[in-house]
Amino acid sequence: MDIINKIREWFSRGEKNKLDDVILDDVSDIDPDILDFKENSDLNIPSYILVMLSRSGYYALLPENLDVDAHIGEYPPLENGFDEAKYGLRFDKEKIIYILGLLSSIPARNKDLIGDDDFVPINAEYLNRFMRDYRLYFDYLENTGVIECNKSYKSSTPNERGYSRSYKWSDKYIDAELEPYYYARAFDKKGNLKAIDSIIKNNRDGNNENQLRHCPYLSYWYEQKKLKIDINRAKLYAKNLKEKKVKQNIDQWDLNKNTGKRKNPSLQYNSFRYNLEALKIHDYKAMIDTNVHRLHSVLTNMQKDYRNFITYDGEPLVAVDIKNSQPYLACLLFNPEFWRENSNLPINLFNLPDNIKQSFLHKYPTRESLPIMLGNLLNNLPDGTFDEYKKVVASGEIYETIKEWVKNEKDIEISRGTAKTTMFQILFSSNANNPEDENYWLKQYYEEKFPSVMKVFKTIKRIYSDLKIERQYARLACLLQAIESEIILHRCCKRIWDEAPQQVPIFTIHDSIVTTIGQEGYVYAIMKEELEECIGVSPEMKFEYWNINNGDLDAEIIEKTLLSTE
């Protein structure tokens, strides 16, 4: 029996003391449940370091004017409130590095966490899983002037998403350029960066294997490690763009269509720098999540502008994108067959992943289940009820159409972005309405135009007080994203692989498939066929060519960038 199997056997029998004498140079094949138990120092390395490498990457970004060793020397932890006796654990510099790195890695992984200030929410419950003394490090960093804390937080409820305490760099470091700091375990004995796996082994909860590893039609192209970015131009463009936006009024900053908040340019820039470093070392961070089963990667994490600097094996890329995809995918929900247990539809509630299906199948002693309720609702509506909605989304112009209708019928000018943001609020937020919301009137307008559509959406998002489940309203968003994943990942991409294995490079950004120029016509045809078969409505799609001359980038900034890098 090899050493890895011995370790597994000792761990399963609770004989963790036998691990004391084990020395391993490579821990990549050890099970995450073995590595994750609290503060284990058995494998010649603390387990939290291994968690850092698996969940945060091989590096953290730190301000160039922060010398961690010098800071610790000037402010000895034991003299500045760090109580080693509280948890029986010694102060560790690597934990400081990890925590500080979260200020860029968290918004880099989730753009929705970028708000209009410099603060980044950090989930204490998550940290406590593998770093029980994390609070001491936050206190030390606050007390010694490295970070600041917004101590307000709120737990999630059935009606509302909660939020964690948030942190930002102190004034001394807030404007400093961030530079990568690589963890010691990222290097081999000769000082060379270890081979990096572009596919994450386990999901971020540490308990579930990344299902992407069982999907060669998706994982193969990441494993080739041929995605590259024009580092110098991309970095200079990003820095110039940040400086321009910082000088603007906040209402000119990018709008988050999911939250309706403006995005802080400095946080956007720091997030880009984190993802840029990942691309540089082929740390693509590719994984399929266990919530809505989307494929996430450095491509999905990266802001749209910077994808124009990316190539595959030296070849330019193009994305085949579904126009108004979420409203389009919702057309499937208006078919009573989607909600029937023995449905013969290619995609229906009962052949979606279990967690999606089960969110609709709670048993109620006094009322029908949601699938039955929705099936009855749809069967009682007149034929053609959803025809106008389907026609508009099939054109790919729902936001432009709403903009025109509002102007003609209400004599109010709105932007396409406002129409889109309001639709996303309808899809992703709870049914509770706030008349003080600036888009409240537009939500009411959507309801006037598409009353039956909105009734279906509200029924799916209904909150049941006797269900102790947070954010029940998220059923609709999760359902639509799971449908999208099933079609794009496991029908379109798998079919492309089956028909042309290892011939057509493909990557996904949720509702779009990215390929090399010359293959986009083939990918377009596959997507159109599969989507029409599954949704019952033909989609409108578009090509987005990734290059710095396509007009998507800020013209002034790209010209300045090109002049500086010639």
Residue 161 predicted with pLDDT over 80: no
Structure tokens at 390: 């389907």
Helix, strand or coil, per DSSP, at residue 361: coil
| Angle at alpha carbon of residue 264, lines to 106 and 64, rounded to 5° | 65
pLDDT score recorded for residue 260: 73
Average pLDDT of the residues in 498-522: 97
Average pLDDT of the residues in 372-397: 96
pLDDT score recorded for residue 54: 52
**CA distance readout (Å), 531 to 39, 190, 215, 392, 485:** 48, 51, 20, 16, 12
CA distance linking residue 356 with residue 485, whole number of Å: 12
Region class of 431: left (phi > 0), else alpha (psi between -120 and 50), else beta: alpha
Residue 332 predicted with pLDDT over 50: yes
Residue 115 predicted with pLDDT over 50: yes
Structure tokens at 357: 């299906």
Of 387, 291, 376, 261, give the one whose Cα is nearest residue 331: 387
CA distance linking residue 233 with residue 565, whole number of Å: 7
pLDDT score recorded for residue 132: 83
pLDDT score recorded for residue 184: 78
Burial of 333 from C-beta contacts in 10 A (0-12 / 13-18 / 19+): buried
**Cα 513–chain centre separation:** 17
Residue 146 predicted with pLDDT over 90: yes
CA distance linking residue 161 with residue 112, whole number of Å: 12
Instruction: Specify the higher pLDDT residue, 523 or 85.
Output: 523
Residue 23 predicted with pLDDT over 50: no
* Alpha helical stretches, state H, 395-474: 398-410, 416-428, 440-449, 451-460
Instruction: Specify the higher pLDDT residue, 27 or 361.
Output: 361
Average pLDDT of the residues in 79-92: 88
Confidence class of residue 531 from pLDDT cuts 50, 70 and 90?
Answer: very high
pLDDT digits (tens, 9 = 90+) for 177-202: 999 999 877 888 888 888 888 888 76
pLDDT score recorded for residue 1: 40
Structure tokens at 415: 């932007």
Confidence class of residue 203 from pLDDT cuts 50, 70 and 90?
Answer: low
Residue where the block lists tokens 């994203």: 481
Confidence class of residue 8 from pLDDT cuts 50, 70 and 90?
Answer: low
Average pLDDT of the residues in 358-362: 87
Confidence class of residue 345 from pLDDT cuts 50, 70 and 90?
Answer: very high
pLDDT score recorded for residue 26: 40
Contact 304, 497 (CB under 8 A): no
Residue 28 predicted with pLDDT over 80: no
pLDDT score recorded for residue 43: 42
CA distance linking residue 201 with residue 41, whole number of Å: 21
Of 547, 546, 482, 109, give the one whose Cα is nearest residue 300: 109
| Angle at alpha carbon of residue 352, lines to 383 and 500, rounded to 5° | 100
Residue 300 predicted with pLDDT over 60: yes
* Arithmetic mean of pLDDT over the chain: 87
Residue 159 predicted with pLDDT over 70: no
Residue 223 predicted with pLDDT over 90: yes
CA distance linking residue 254 with residue 265, whole number of Å: 8
Of 368, 386, 195, 392, give the one whose Cα is nearest residue 282: 195
What is the H or E stretch that residue 296 is in?
Answer: strand 295-296
Helix, strand or coil, per DSSP, at residue 312: strand
**CA distance readout (Å), 110 to 54, 413, 456:** 17, 32, 29
**CA distance readout (Å), 43 to 4, 23, 95, 201:** 11, 6, 18, 19
Residue 44 predicted with pLDDT over 50: no
pLDDT score recorded for residue 556: 92
pLDDT digits (tens, 9 = 90+) for 431-451: 988 888 888 999 999 999 999
Average pLDDT of the residues in 33-42: 41
pLDDT score recorded for residue 400: 97
Confidence class of residue 7 from pLDDT cuts 50, 70 and 90?
Answer: low
